[in-house]
Chains A and B, each alone.
Chain A
Amino acid sequence: MLDQLESLYEASLTKLEEVDSTAVLETWYRDTLGKKGGIYLLTRQVGQLSADERPIFGKRVNVVKNELEAAYEARLAELKATELADKIASSAIDVTLPGRPLTSGGLHVITQTLRDIYRIFGDMGFQIYRTPDVETDAYNFELLNFPPHHPAREMQDSFYTENPDVILRTHTSAGQIRAMREYYPEPVRVILPGMCYRNEQITTRSSIQFTQVEGLAVGTNITFADLKGTLTEFARRLFGADRQTRFRASYFPFTEPSAEMDVTCFLCDGKGCQVCKQTGWLEILGSGMVHPNVLRNGGYDPEVYTGFAFGMGPERIAMLRYGIDDIRQFWNNDLRFLKQF
């Protein structure tokens, strides 16, 4: 019987060599080590052995079983590895085919730009204060130190309504007095976003409707140097930490001193390009120290309080950032445009 065992062992190992799939391997296992496999059938005949032979045979059976089990495991691992490799090899896909499109939505590019502005000023303690689109002449002009027939009114062509005292606001500066009157005597730190309207020919650079973000800070200890610092900080967060700013004297009836802020062109790094008209600078916003008449109209005594204000155009910022060359795109709302942002 030992001979039989040995020859079964040899034969099984040879067969194992020939096994070429895990399915065949399972058959081999059943035939060899299974409940009714060769080894089992042989051990059933152990009764034919003498008492002396039995332990020897038994020992040898265990060794053979273990060897075959080990050989099986090894072969199984081998076959699995081959099969996996084959499966992987045969199931390659074209990874350059496009992904399945999502039906995703998006925010309007101006909403995105506004949120950038909100976030930066929010971090500096400026809160968002909104006021009406349709405004009185008083809030839009008179109380902001634009007397009637003042030449500065010509800088902003207004849309008039059937009520002569009511216009479409030409700037969100119109909200300055409203904010001051609400918050007096607290210090004020607000930004005033909103839609503005000017009666100008529609071109690639100007639209009858545009958004603006005005800013206003009023307190007992606010200087022109603070204005420069705050707005420079804003420019660096919006356009990049390396940006330089420069302030040029300018004119707005509701600020004195007044300044335009330019930022080094982020497209050419200040070397000069088409967008910055070779100057290396981009005009970003107008600003200034709140005019004493405006402070007074807002309820604040200019002998005690000072403040600064600034205003910027989100469309201009978006046009510069993304190289948009036609302002009309913003309100045309062509999905082929909007989906790009």
Chain B
Amino acid sequence: MLVPLSWLKDFVTIDKPVEQVDRLLTNAGLEVKTIEKIGIPGAALEWDRELVLLAHLLKVEQHPNADKLVLATVDYGDGRSKTVVTGAPNLFDYVGQGEISGLQIFSPLALEGSVLYDGHKDGRVTAKLKGRELRGIYNDAMLCSEKELGISEEHEGIILIKKDANSPDYQPGTPLQDVLGDAVLEIDIIPNIARCASMVGVAREYAALTNQPMRYPDYSVKMEGGDVNGAAVNGRITLTTENPELNPRFVGYIIEGVQQTASPYWLQYRLRLAGQRPINVVVDISNYVMLEMGQPNHTFDYDFLRRRADQYNPGGPIQINTRLPHDGETLTTLDGTSHKLEPYSILVTDPLGNLSLGGVMGGADSEIKPETQNVFLEAAAWNFINIRRTSTKLGIHTDAAFRFSRGVHPSQALLGANRAANLLNRLAGGTVANGVLDTYPNPPEPITVMLKLDYARRLSGLNLSGAEMAELLGRLEFTTEVQEDHLIVTAPDHRMDIEGPHDLVEEICRMYGYDNIPSTVLSDVLPPQRGNAKLEQEERIKDTLVQAGLQELITFRLTAKAQEAKLLPKNHVAGPDERPYVTLTNPLSAERAEMRHSLLASVVEIAAHNSRYQDRLAMFEVGPIFIADEDEILPIEQTRLSLVMSGQRTVLGWQGGQSGTYDFYDLKGVLAALFNELHLSVSYEPVEHPTYRPGRTARLLLGETQVGVMGELHPLVAEQFDIQMEDDDQPVLAADIDLDALIAHIPSHYPYDPISPYPAVHEDIAVVVDKSVPAKEVEEVIRNSGGYLLKDVELFDLYEGSQLGAGKKSLAYHLTFQAPDKTLTDKVVQKSRQKIVGQLKHRLNAQLRE
């Protein structure tokens, strides 16, 4: 909401610089987002206090040598006067009138040397005013347009301000800064400060914060009219509200003989600063009252209502009723749009049909027209939920709907109607018919809250007395009754946000000043410290993988089924993943419409993106996947670990060389390092999986339980993700692991293996076996037959040369024998070795290779 500081000053004295006003309001929860200064110091264009003044227009004469120029004579205070040559079209009306009589007219006068914007150039270009001859007459001053002053883009004519009974007291010679200079605060109206969605609302907060009195607008109404028959309002219109829950109050006045002229300059100027476009005085007053004191209101064409009444109730009163729509009812709003109404939209109607969408927008038929002179003024209270739903559903976001959907107290309806009637009378020449229509069947009880002093102190940490609390609340117009250990507090009507004592504590804190509340350390009892074992293990796993040279990712958890389907080659018939997804009903885009089933797909996608810039990829993510569960309201969230590696093993420096590219065993090495760190004994078994390349895929087993799959991505899958490594044949290694299962098996304790003080004996052994025999089996046989003295088995060579014979391979191992309690003799070692060789031969038909 845009709040001109000058407007606030109608209601409260503000003698602090705008920066301090900003700080006070912002700290109190009325966040000032921006400040736009006009004419005053700090503005984009500052008006010189000596050279840019308010002048009183005395007379206008034709320029003797130019048809399109006039000579305007002005008084600019202290008996000074000046004749200005100008081409302003809006002065031509005054030519030849001699001394201007009637209303006094004022205009901004800029003297030689002042810096203003050039009205004839596009955009904002400053220019310094210099005296020069204009068609034979020397001119060294200028009457200014809004564009030249930086107020707006308006340059059709100069600013003409008429002084009337309602205007400020303009005096010639006043620096223009003091007349039109301003600072406009943009205040963020968050839901709990809906009461501040008006100038009065903001001023009231400021008055409370600075402990000053408020000056409220003039709510008096001068009623003297009747219709031609002298009838007061009561006999002419009847008001009914079908459901007071939806329309708690409806206030109406009849105002006759309004003149739809342009509004006075001061009013137009204020509306514009507040972001409203001035239309004519009747419409402007309606907007002005809403901005000023917060009550939206509406004017109907009275004669239109009357003509309709002549059809349904000839000679009788107009019958206004508020109700919900009938089935299929439509309404054309004053912006010309036809709306199909929702069952919860509240309508203002007469027996012939609907007239307006209550609290949201007027109807096209009943709105005031240029020739309208008699208006029916409405100010009402509406159920905020119905307004909110209607406004959202129909997409009508008016200022009225903004306020009503946040709550406006019914007490404001009468004040708003009064204020609008007051202004229509004073500024638009209207006559207010005697009496007021006011349908208000169930006025709500004032909100009264008991605030225990002890509670207030305990919550705030402030040791205030009851009287001190009462004083702070009193500034915000709360009335309080101070008792020994509590306050009875009654909230003013506009405080619809007050529900209980906690709300009052916030008000006490705000008025005390958040800055002034002390800062203390927690002295409350420390709860039992439990830690978060699962998170700690996840972080440990991340650290281990980072040490192994992998980069951690965090990816989008929202994805699309189609994206995850890329994990299967195109020709793959049935997906292995038939599990239901968590699907959004209002996704922002089709690419992010489901919660992911696969972490691997997310990581591969990132790998593909990076493959355009990198020749080495080694990355992982730890994160959840989401499987909808038909029996439970919430899905199963399972933590996974996915890894991808591809490309150069190391980053080659300036010394060049060859490090080779990642293959299956690099990934397996990383996993081995991880499982080793976690003290998990994971075994690998060949497996087929559509995502992976046949023959280069293994499943990971913890005991009998499969905890993941690793391998080379199927080349078709890598292609679907559009992974672009330097060489098309470079394998993309991937693993996808159930981290919940893994973490569940991590032992909390594991025994330490003592270092033997006795020397180890190293033996090498090379055996030839069939190619089909997995290395894992060879190692198992060695380990199982080596006995407790065999400390370590390490494969150091794999050979598949022709001299071994077709279908054979040779595996060579370093064996380490060591006893914890003695030096091993050669005899013992040889015996053990014999046994290994024998078992290899027996079980795997292995031949010792000499």
Do A and B come together as binding partners?
A: yes
| Interface residue ranges, A against B (CB under 8 Å) | 97-108, 110-111, 115, 124-125, 127-130, 132-136, 149-152, 154-155, 159-163, 165-166, 168, 183, 186-189, 195, 197, 199-202, 208-209, 217, 219-226, 228-230, 232-233, 246-251, 256-259, 289, 291-292, 302-303, 306, 330-336, 338-339
30 A-B contacts, Cβ less than 8 Å apart? A97-B654, A101-B652, A105-B546, A105-B547, A105-B548, A108-B552, A125-B527, A130-B532, A135-B634, A149-B388, A149-B389, A151-B191, A162-B583, A186-B527, A189-B522, A202-B588, A208-B558, A209-B558, A221-B524, A223-B458, A223-B520, A226-B523, A247-B517, A250-B29, A251-B190, A251-B193, A256-B502, A256-B505, A257-B506, A333-B553
Per-residue interface assignment for chain B, residues 500 to 542, with 1 indicating a CB less than 8 Å from any chain A CB and 0 otherwise: 1011011001100011011111111111111110010001001
B606 within 8 A of A: yes
How far is the CB of B220 from the nearest CB of chain A, in Å? 34
Stretch at the interface among B420-428, B608-616, B704-712, B756-764: B608-616
A-facing residues in B166-196 (Cβ within 8 Å): 190-194
Give the distance in Å from the alpha carbon of A152 to the alpha carbon of B191 in the complex.
6
Does the CB pair B191–A150 fall under 8 Å?
Answer: yes
How far is the CB of B237 from the nearest CB of chain A, in Å? 32
Give the distance in Å from the alpha carbon of A162 to the alpha carbon of B550 in the complex.
37
Does the CB pair B519–A229 fall under 8 Å?
Answer: yes
Q: Which of A132, A133, A209, A302 has the most CB of B within 10 A?
A: A133
Stretch at the interface among B81-89, B252-260, B459-467: B459-467
Give the distance in Å from the alpha carbon of A134 to the alpha carbon of B595 in the complex.
9
Out of B31, B502, B525, which one reaches A289, CB within 8 Å? B502
| Minimum-distance CB pairs A-B, first 6 | A225-B461, A249-B29, A223-B461, A257-B506, A219-B524, A229-B519
Q: Which residue of B lies closest to A186 (CB)?
A: B527
B649 within 8 A of A: yes
Chain B residues with Cβ under 8 A from A292's Cβ?
Answer: 500, 502
Out of B505, B547, B586, which one reaches A159, CB within 8 Å? B586
Give the distance in Å from the alpha carbon of A161 to the alpha carbon of B594 in the complex.
9
Does the CB pair B535–A128 fall under 8 Å?
Answer: yes
Give the distance in Å from the alpha carbon of A78 to the alpha carbon of B665 in the complex.
55
B804 within 8 A of A: no
A-facing residues in B617-631 (Cβ within 8 Å): 617-619, 624, 626
Give the distance in Å from the alpha carbon of A151 to the alpha carbon of B7 in the complex.
28
Out of A133, A135, A230, which one reaches B624, CB within 8 Å? A133
Does the CB pair B517–A224 fall under 8 Å?
Answer: yes
Does the CB pair B626–A223 fall under 8 Å?
Answer: no
Out of B459, B526, B614, which one reaches A224, CB within 8 Å? B459
Chain A residues with Cβ under 8 A from B552's Cβ?
Answer: 105-108, 111, 338
Give the distance in Å from the alpha carbon of A289 to the alpha carbon of B633 in the complex.
31
Does the CB pair A306–B554 fall under 8 Å?
Answer: no
Q: Which residue of B lies closest to A231 (CB)?
A: B519
Number of interface residues of B (CB under 8 A): 95
Give the distance in Å from the alpha carbon of A251 to the alpha carbon of B188 in the complex.
11
How far is the CB of B398 from the nearest CB of chain A, in Å? 15
Are A127 and B532 also in contact (CB < 8 A) when A105-B552, A115-B539 are?
yes
Give the distance in Å from the alpha carbon of A224 to the alpha carbon of B515 in the complex.
12
Does the CB pair B633–A111 fall under 8 Å?
Answer: no
B556 within 8 A of A: yes
Give the distance in Å from the alpha carbon of A102 to the alpha carbon of B547 in the complex.
11
Chain B residues with Cβ under 8 A from A162's Cβ?
Answer: 582-583, 585
Chain A residues with Cβ under 8 A from B527's Cβ?
Answer: 125, 127, 183, 186-189
How far is the CB of A157 from the nearest CB of chain B, in Å? 9
Are A151 and B405 also in contact (CB < 8 A) when A217-B522, A229-B520, A249-B28 are?
yes
How far is the CB of B60 from the nearest CB of chain A, in Å? 46
Contacts A134-B582, A134-B626, A162-B585 known; 9 new A-B pairs at CB < 8 A: A105-B552, A110-B554, A125-B527, A130-B532, A219-B525, A224-B505, A225-B460, A225-B461, A251-B193
Are A306 and B459 also in contact (CB < 8 A) when A232-B519, A338-B553 are?
yes
Give the distance in Å from the alpha carbon of A244 to the alpha carbon of B99 in the complex.
64
B551 within 8 A of A: yes
Does the CB pair A230–B626 fall under 8 Å?
Answer: no
A-facing residues in B393-436 (Cβ within 8 Å): 405-406
Out of B506, B529, B557, B613, which one reaches A249, CB within 8 Å? B506
Give the distance in Å from the alpha carbon of A134 to the alpha carbon of B586 in the complex.
15
Give the distance in Å from the alpha carbon of A49 to the alpha carbon of B339 in the complex.
141
Does the CB pair A228–B637 fall under 8 Å?
Answer: no
Q: Which residue of B lies closest to A115 (CB)?
A: B539
B549 within 8 A of A: yes
Are A106 and B27 also in contact (CB < 8 A) when A233-B521, A335-B614 are?
no
Give the distance in Å from the alpha carbon of A159 to the alpha carbon of B650 in the complex.
43
Does the CB pair B530–A127 fall under 8 Å?
Answer: yes
Give the distance in Å from the alpha carbon of A229 to the alpha carbon of B461 in the complex.
11
B660 within 8 A of A: no
Q: Which residue of B lies closest to A289 (CB)?
A: B459
Chain B residues with Cβ under 8 A from A249's Cβ?
Answer: 27-29, 506, 509-510, 514
Does the CB pair B551–A338 fall under 8 Å?
Answer: yes
Does the CB pair B585–A230 fall under 8 Å?
Answer: no
Are A107 and B517 also in contact (CB < 8 A) when A133-B626, A134-B626, A208-B592 are?
no
How far is the CB of A320 from the nearest CB of chain B, in Å? 19
Q: Which residue of B lies closest to A338 (CB)?
A: B551
B211 within 8 A of A: no
Are A248 and B613 also in contact (CB < 8 A) when A133-B626, A224-B461, A228-B518 are?
no
Give the distance in Å from the alpha carbon of A104 to the alpha carbon of B614 in the complex.
14
Give the distance in Å from the alpha carbon of A64 to the alpha carbon of B332 in the complex.
129
Does the CB pair B191–A161 fall under 8 Å?
Answer: no
B655 within 8 A of A: yes
Out of B461, B525, B626, B637, which one reaches A187, CB within 8 Å? B525
Chain B residues with Cβ under 8 A from A111's Cβ?
Answer: 542, 552, 554
Chain B residues with Cβ under 8 A from A338's Cβ?
Answer: 551-553
How far is the CB of B518 from the nearest CB of chain A, in Å? 5
How far is the CB of A238 from the nearest CB of chain B, in Å? 16
Are A104 and B500 also in contact (CB < 8 A) when A225-B461, A228-B518, A248-B26 are?
no
Are A166 and B585 also in contact (CB < 8 A) when A247-B515, A292-B502 are?
no
Out of A105, A125, A197, A201, which one reaches B558, CB within 8 Å? A197
Does the CB pair A151–B406 fall under 8 Å?
Answer: yes
Does the CB pair B558–A334 fall under 8 Å?
Answer: no
B555 within 8 A of A: yes
Does the CB pair A100–B653 fall under 8 Å?
Answer: yes
